[in-house]
Chain A
Amino acid sequence: MAIQFRHKPGLVVYLTAGDPSLDATRAIALGAIDAGADVIELGVPFSDPLADGPVIQRASERALARGTRLKDVIALAREIRAARPEAGLVIFSYFNPILRYGLVRFADDAAAAGADGVLITDIVVEEAQQYLAEMDRVGLAPIFLAAPTSPDERLEAIATHSRGFVYAISRTGITGKQLNLTDDAAALVARIRRWTRLPVAVGFGISNAEHVAQVGEFADAAVIGSAIVDLIERSTPETSPGAVVRFIKGLQLQPAALAR
């Protein structure tokens, strides 16, 4: 199943799998899809998340403390896929857990579970040869990050090798909240579009309806991670799905005209 954005802008929701529990993550993901999330990124918790800010660091620690493993995240993907066949589903991870699991085995299992794509934070195109071959073999979309610091020749390689969508990082820095979107984001999206017709999603620091509307002016989708993970941290396992649903409904997503 291909990744499709049914809203303008589309919404990608990042969740750290296993925070506060795998059951809670499943309930939150299903609620988020029903409330309008086009794509769920299931984050594999990692002990040393160097690209993440404090909110996702703490979520990873909580998930690991509950014993969440990569195989559990793949199993969770399978359950979400079975329950919501139309939603986009991406497994989001640092490289080492996948390397340890075995890249070939991971590709097989993630594809069999019904995931659409994979995003590995610390894999850049130069180091991606085997990874790309495996993704291609099993039909999973490799999604690469593009940064405001990426020169055009890197953006060309990123855009050429990405499938599903390209993830544009709104600003230099780690994941987490910010007050205003910088001009970096719009300029980056415009540069990416020179090389691809894939949808472009903008993430890092997107935390409210105003941000999402701003992103909608120049990109195809917004990624919300830390703001939702923060909401989950401040809720109980029982109340977090409802809180996330209310948050997403508050974003006032508009259905996309069914083009393409």
Chain B
Amino acid sequence: MSTTSNTAGNIRFLNPPAVEVNKKKYCRFKKMGIKYIDYKDATFLTKFVNEQGKLLPRRLTGTSLKFQRKVGQAVKRARHIALMPYVTDLLK
């Protein structure tokens, strides 16, 4: 009967695992005082879109409702003038 009981409880880690205590999400637009989201700036808009080019939900990006609508509208405009794809496989 192995004396060393390595139950999950007392596994010693060299350094505590960087468990992400859920850091308070904030709306980057309100914090930085951005008032207008430019639909021509595709590199900035790709931050709000996942690999397939789909819009990220607010719970992941943490943006407020008002600015999520503006982001959505800007991304759809960028897609219309072919600055951003409607669907793709590896955007990043």
Q: Do A and B bind each other?
A: no
Q: Mark B residues whose CB is within 8 Å of A.
A: none
Q: Mark A residues whose CB is within 8 Å of B.
A: none
